[in-house]
Amino acid sequence: MTTPTIELKPSANPLSAAEREGILANPGFGRHFTDHMVTIKWTEGRGWHDGQLVPYAPISLDPATTVLHYAQEIFEGLKAYRQPDGSVATFRPEKNAERFQRSARRLAMPELPVETFIEACDALVKQDKAWVPAHGGEESLYLRPFMIATEVGLGVKPANEYLFLVIASPAGAYFPGGVKPVSIWVSEDRVRAVPGGMGDAKTGGNYAASLLAQAEAATKGCDQVCYLDAVEHTWVEELGGMNLYFVYGDKIVTPSLTGSILEGVTRDSLLAVARDLGYEAEEGRVSVDQWQRDSENGSLTEVFACGTAAVITPVGTVKRATAEWKQSGGEPGEVTLRLRQALLDIQRGTASDAHGWMHRL
């Protein structure tokens, strides 16, 4: 595989420091974007080429571009954190790069070398370092690498041209309430992904598929939808854009990777962080009936959602067609908050990075 270098063509008109600070004071999630983006092209027979860091700007696509019709698209999400000494570090970018390669294989797209993925993220963060929020708060800089098929034509086949981009967005809490517990609607009829499908690839189609059930969750007064497996409609899989963890006293359990669940980087990191803190941490099967029963008999003490965007968000209320119950009295649970703090301490550089997860720029 070829590894292009990234040519720097910075903006002559970046946003003023005052405007940037105004945005950083209340960034929300995914609403504002930094001054630059990285683009790298792939062409059949030539491989990866023309890596550039350029001013953030709209891209122009022919109306017959493949991605607009057949959704050959993949993406990633990772964050850059301001460290106590003012430097910046990203969290486990190689995990995202490797997943991006797996997603590419599933969608018959070319694999971007891991080092090029990391180099592209690094180039953008270095250029737009002033956009990384101050140390110590909930905020960070969310990076969104993605790839689209750019061949023009309506034939249904893997495209012969692709564009990889990285954009960045200062991010506060994904849920407006921050660590306030969220409510979950368990969808027992709609499914997110099927065995042999694309559930373990990070592709826009999976998120499109989740929107209707997510909208139904909202009509039930819930913040998020939870999907069950597509065959038995029994086993808990994941939320619309996050993984789930169940806390049984000193043991935490997350649904095993079945092929239809996204292998979350936060999910994976928490298995290790929990063990470091002395908890038992397991992957396993949890049915929706067990979830309800164990909550009602008190053995299931807490439930939380996790993801790069959501960090760790407690679950407060669960609703299904036949029942509704509170999780840890509707309050954030002790284990949830402890794990959240331990992970954030590593990411913000206030705890030792025993696993070598932080990538310093």
Task: List interacting residues with ligand COI (CB under 6 A).
Answer: 77, 207, 241, 307-309
Q: Is 320 or 359 the residue whose CB approaches ligand COI more closely?
A: 359
Which residues fall within 8 angstroms of residue 177, CB to CB, at 6 or more apart? none
Least distance CB 207 / ligand COI (angstroms): 6
Least distance CB 39 / ligand COI (angstroms): 21
- Note whether 321 and 86 are within 8 A (CB): no
For residue 152, the 8-state DSSP code is: B
DSSP 90-139: EE-HHHHHHHHHHHHHHTT-PPPPHHHHHHHHHHHHHHTGGGSPPTTSS-
Tokens in use for 159? 């495209």
**What is the C-alpha separation between 176 and 199, in angstroms, rounded?**
27
Least distance CB 143 / ligand COI (angstroms): 9
Tokens in use for 175? 């849920």
Least distance CB 89 / ligand COI (angstroms): 17
For residue 287, the 8-state DSSP code is: B
Short-list 145, 90, 149, 142, CA closest to 117: 145
Residue 204: count of CB within 10 angstroms of its CB: 15
Q: Is 116 or 206 the residue whose CB approaches ligand COI more closely?
A: 206
Least distance CB 309 / ligand COI (angstroms): 3
**What is the C-alpha separation between 297 and 319, in angstroms, rounded?**
17
Q: Which residue is nearest to ligand COI (CB)?
A: 77
Phi first, then psi: what are they for 295, rounded to 5°?
A: -70, -40
Least distance CB 24 / ligand COI (angstroms): 19
Phi first, then psi: what are they for 349, rounded to 5°?
A: 80, 20
**What is the C-alpha separation between 229 and 288, in angstroms, rounded?**
10
**What is the C-alpha separation between 61 and 41, in angstroms, rounded?**
14
Q: Is 159 or 261 the residue whose CB approaches ligand COI more closely?
A: 261
Q: How far is CA 82 from the centre of its chain?
A: 19
Q: Is 48 or 174 the residue whose CB approaches ligand COI more closely?
A: 174
Least distance CB 104 / ligand COI (angstroms): 16
Least distance CB 342 / ligand COI (angstroms): 19
Q: Is 241 or 316 the residue whose CB approaches ligand COI more closely?
A: 241
Tokens in use for 245? 């963890």
Q: Is 140 or 308 the residue whose CB approaches ligand COI more closely?
A: 308
Q: Is 8 or 344 the residue whose CB approaches ligand COI more closely?
A: 344
Q: Is 265 or 286 the residue whose CB approaches ligand COI more closely?
A: 265
